[in-house]
């Protein structure tokens, strides 16, 4: 069983070329952009009135794309090679765990090394620094890394890694489950359901509180243990739901 | 051993398989014949657990088949099935890791036999070679039931011959139930032992090739002479022109009077008559 699961992981990793390429291209583009900004700022002696998203955040893109490609593209091909649904189910989960870990490490490393270096140049500032001193916007380029925006950096490196990891795992599991059911009527029903919730809960203040409460639990809550537990529990529940979906998925 | 009991499969309002029952108890090479849309692929997918039956029960080796319990003992592959764009060797290795009891030696031997370039990626192979590789991967599985859906589609005569050789070698090395769906009846007849003819989601005939050879014949002559002979015979098709009639029979041989001729019927004609000729009866 474990050998089969590991075989699925290997096959998944070998066949995510488009997600690797798109993620790499976007991250590289933003990385180059930050270098160009640094050079311009150094030459002109002026930086400011700009805000950019950290290139490291775009490693998360790999999670979303992988969770789309694995059930849509890899599932049928794995079956054609003799893979069983149960092995695909566990193998895909193992793939997401490893990919979430990789994306987390990449972004965390990016945040604690390259971005700290950018801040040290004096032309850039992080989101936390900007919140404490909004005037920095006039003289620095504000780099927004979601680690800071979501408040995870306040809890130390270990929690940055764990909170980010569980959030990415949840993200992958949600995308995987929704993508898996798109060839069935209930997939479209779920899409409609989500769209309805978002379009009615956002404009109505009393309902918006509930929506914000949900996002608070999976992202913003100050207590990292609650966020970690809730994300893991929700990921588990949603992935369990994906099993009957995988069972019914036509090959 | 495959047991299909009163299985129906509906796709929306279309009934692809209609209360079909079938038992395959012995090892052998079986041909599943039917027109386009007869339900061949659906039946194979149901047996493999790739799709769920609307009603009825399918068991393979005594175990009930469902999409959640795809039988380990069944391997199914359909024509033009997509594969990862990996090299031939990588695909074979991946299949070996995914399948229980994969016969790697057989797969590599067949790859050499059919001159498949191990370093070529799947998309670089010709259509015929893609199908051949997919078939080799499926046959190298240690499964006790192998289902091949239209494996020779798009093959030239030489490749079809190679395919038959591959099928026979695989069977002799590892005897099991091999079911091949095809349109090319006369060619598959060289290697197959039994025919299963399906039409409109129902089994029309399940019989041995020799049995069909012995029991399928045509009676022709004047209508007034042929018609009385048909009483009590299983006439599968009749055609008339003027006062002449030809009747296709699938039953015990009779000795007709001299003014009615009796002729053997080829498998292709037998198939056409039984599938397309019912309305004439």
Q: 10 Å Cβ neighbour count for A249?
A: 23
Cα-trace Rg, chain B: 21
Residue bearing the bigger pLDDT, B71 or B118: B118
ipTM entry: 0.80
CA distance B273 to B281: 10
Asked if B86 lies within 8 A of A14 by C-beta distance, the reply is yes
Q: Is the pLDDT of residue B279 over 50?
A: no
B84 shares contact with chain A (CB less than 8 Å): yes
Q: Are B84 and B94 in contact (CB under 8 A)?
A: yes
Q: What is the per-residue pLDDT for B277? A: 55
Query: Tens digit of pLDDT for each residue in A21-32?
Result: 999 999 999 889
Q: What is the per-residue pLDDT for B71? A: 74
Residues of B in contact with A78 (CB under 8 A): 98
B81 shares contact with chain A (CB less than 8 Å): yes
- Mean pLDDT per block of 10 residues along chain A (251 residues) reads 91 94 93 86 78 90 95 92 90 96 95 90 88 88 92 92 96 95 90 91 87 91 93 95 85 73
pTM for this structure?
A: 0.81
B78 to chain A, closest Cα gap in Å: 9
Residues of A in contact with B83 (CB under 8 A): 77, 80-81
Q: Are A209 and A215 in contact (CB under 8 A)?
A: no
CA distance A176 to B170: 38
Q: Taking an 8 Å Cβ-Cβ cutoff, which residues of chain A contact chain B?
A: 3-4, 7-8, 10-11, 14-15, 74, 76-85, 87, 244, 247-248, 250-251
B77 shares contact with chain A (CB less than 8 Å): yes
For domain B2-200, the CATH architecture is 3-Layer(aba) Sandwich (3.40)
Q: Would you kindly state where each structural domain of chain B is located, as residue ranges?
A: 2-200, 214-280
Q: How many Cβ pairs closer than 8 A exist between chain A and B?
A: 63
Tell me the average pLDDT across B97-108.
89
Mean pLDDT of chain A: 91
A176 to chain B, closest Cα gap in Å: 18
A13 to chain B, closest Cα gap in Å: 12
**DSSP, res A142:** E
Chain B 34-53, residues with CB within 8 Å of chain A CB atoms: 45, 50-52
Residues of A in contact with B90 (CB under 8 A): 14
Q: A194: phi > 0 → left, psi -120 to 50 → alpha, else beta; which? A: alpha
CA distance B213 to B264: 8
Q: What is the per-residue pLDDT for B264? A: 87
Backbone angles phi, psi at B118, to 5 degrees: -60, -25
- First CA to last CA across chain A, in angstroms? 21
Q: Could you tell me the two tokens for B87?
A: 């090299």
- First CA to last CA across chain B, in angstroms? 35
Q: Are B149 and B117 in contact (CB under 8 A)?
A: no
């Amino acid at each position: 069983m474990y050998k089969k699961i590991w075989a699925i992981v290997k096959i998944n990793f070998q066949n995510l070329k488009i997600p690797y390429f798109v993620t790499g291209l976007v991250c590289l583009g933003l990385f180059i952009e930050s270098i160009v900004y640094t050079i311009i700022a150094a030459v002109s002696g002026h930086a400011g009135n700009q805000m950019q998203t950290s290139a490291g955040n775009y490693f998360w893109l790999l999670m979303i794309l992988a969770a789309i490609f694995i059930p849509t593209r890899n599932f049928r091909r794995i079956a054609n090679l003799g893979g069983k649904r149960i092995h695909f189910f566990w193998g895909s989960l193992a793939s997401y765990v490893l990919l979430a870990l990789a994306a987390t490490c990449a972004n965390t490393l990016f945040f604690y090394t390259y971005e700290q270096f950018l801040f040290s140049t004096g032309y850039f500032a992080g989101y936390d620094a900007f919140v404490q001193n909004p005037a920095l916007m006039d003289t620095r380029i504000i780099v927004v890394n979601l680690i800071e925006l979501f408040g995870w950096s306040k809890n130390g490196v270990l929690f940055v890694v764990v909170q980010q990891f569980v959030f990415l795992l949840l993200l992958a599991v949600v995308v995987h489950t929704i993508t898996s059911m798109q060839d069935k009527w209930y997939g479209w029903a779920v899409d409609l359901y989500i769209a309805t919730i978002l379009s009615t809960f956002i404009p109505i203040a009393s309902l918006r509180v509930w929506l914000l409460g949900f996002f608070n639990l999976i992202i913003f809550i100050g207590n990292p243990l609650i966020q970690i537990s809730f994300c893991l529990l929700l990921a588990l529940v949603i992935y369990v739901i994906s099993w009957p979906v995988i069972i019914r998925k036509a090959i | 051993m495959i047991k299909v009991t009163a299985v129906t499969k509906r796709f929306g309002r279309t009934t692809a398989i209609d209360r079909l029952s079938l038992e395959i108890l012995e090892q052998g090479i079986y041909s599943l014949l039917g027109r386009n849309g007869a339900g061949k692929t659906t039946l194979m997918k149901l047996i493999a657990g790739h799709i769920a039956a609307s009603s009825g029960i399918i068991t393979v080796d005594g175990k009930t088949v469902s999409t959640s319990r795809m039988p380990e003992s069944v391997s199914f592959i359909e024509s033009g099935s997509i594969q990862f764009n990996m090299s031939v060797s990588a695909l074979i290795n991946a299949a070996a890791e995914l399948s229980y009891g994969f016969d790697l030696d057989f797969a590599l031997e067949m790859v050499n036999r059919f001159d498949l370039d191990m370093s070529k990626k799947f998309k670089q192979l010709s259509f015929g070679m893609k199908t051949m590789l997919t078939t080799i991967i499926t046959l190298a599985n240690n499964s006790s039931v192998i289902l091949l859906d239209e494996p020779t589609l798009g093959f030239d005569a030489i490749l079809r011959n190679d395919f038959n050789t591959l099928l026979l070698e695989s069977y002799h090395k590892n005897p099991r139930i091999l079911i091949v769906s095809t349109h090319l009846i006369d060619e598959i007849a060289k290697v197959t032992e039994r025919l299963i003819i399906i039409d409109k989601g129902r089994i029309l005939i399940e019989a041995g090739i020799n049995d069909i050879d012995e029991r399928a014949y045509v009676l022709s002559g004047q209508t007034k002479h042929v018609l009385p002979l048909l009483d009590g015979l299983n006439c599968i098709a009749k055609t008339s022109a003027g006062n002449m009639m030809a009747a296709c029979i699938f039953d015990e041989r009779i000795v007709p009077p001299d003014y009615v001729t009796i002729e053997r019927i080829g498998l292709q004609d037998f198939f056409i008559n039984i599938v397309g000729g019912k309305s004439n009866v």
